[in-house]
């Protein structure tokens, strides 16, 4: 009879656990935004990011650009993010093919763009490329 009571108690607590899990699923996930490190102006959000498949690292680069370590374990994490063209990118609006991207607030260099494409440090080519360097941005969760 003790086993029957324990199984009844176990079943009674299952709906509570399911309810707790559904509450966790309904919470909004934090959204990532990127701000200029110098003046904190909003530069991009997660919706603007153009994802790319990770390349094979240095194997994708010309021989002269390689470090010379033939036993490299894994390609480095991408040091930049690629975004879609946005209104604040003045040089894009002016019709240039490739140029530096500057913050609208403080004129700090945030990255560069090229309509013909650029190679990420992971080895993948991104066409067209609007590259923002992570070292010049603050990643914020909202």
Tens-binned pLDDT, residue by residue, of the chain (142 aa) = 555 555 444 444 444 444 455 555 566 777 899 999 999 999 999 999 999 887 665 555 554 455 555 555 555 688 999 999 999 998 888 888 999 999 999 999 999 999 999 988 887 889 999 999 999 999 999 8
HSE, side-chain direction, 13 A CA sphere, residue 115: 7
Residue 114 lies in a domain: yes
How many domains does the structure of the chain reveal? 1
Residue 106 lies in a domain: yes
Residue 104 lies in a domain: yes
Residue 81 buriedness (CB in 10 A; 0-12 / 13-18 / 19+): buried
Is the model's pTM score more than 0.75?
A: no
Residue 117 lies in a domain: yes
Interatomic CA distance for residues 55 and 53, integer angstroms: 6
In this structure, what CATH number is given to the domain that contains residue 96? 2.170.150
Domain that holds residue 59: 30-141
Residue 90 lies in a domain: yes
């Amino acid at each position: 009879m003790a086993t029957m009571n324990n199984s009844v108690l176990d079943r009674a607590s299952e709906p509570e656990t399911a309810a707790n899990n559904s509450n966790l699923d309904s919470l909004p996930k934090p959204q990532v935004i990127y701000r200029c490190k110098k003046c904190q102006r909003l530069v991009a959000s997660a919706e603007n990011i153009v994802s790319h498949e990770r390349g094979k690292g240095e194997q994708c680069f010309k021989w002269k650009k390689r470090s010379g370590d033939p036993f490299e374990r894994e390609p480095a994490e991408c040091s930049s993010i690629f975004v879609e063209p946005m209104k604040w990118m003045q040089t894009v609006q002016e019709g240039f093919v490739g140029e530096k991207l500057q913050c609208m607030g403080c004129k700090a260099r945030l990255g560069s763009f090229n309509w013909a494409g650029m190679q990420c440090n992971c080895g993948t080519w991104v066409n067209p490329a609007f590259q923002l360097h992570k070292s010049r941005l603050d990643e914020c969760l909202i």
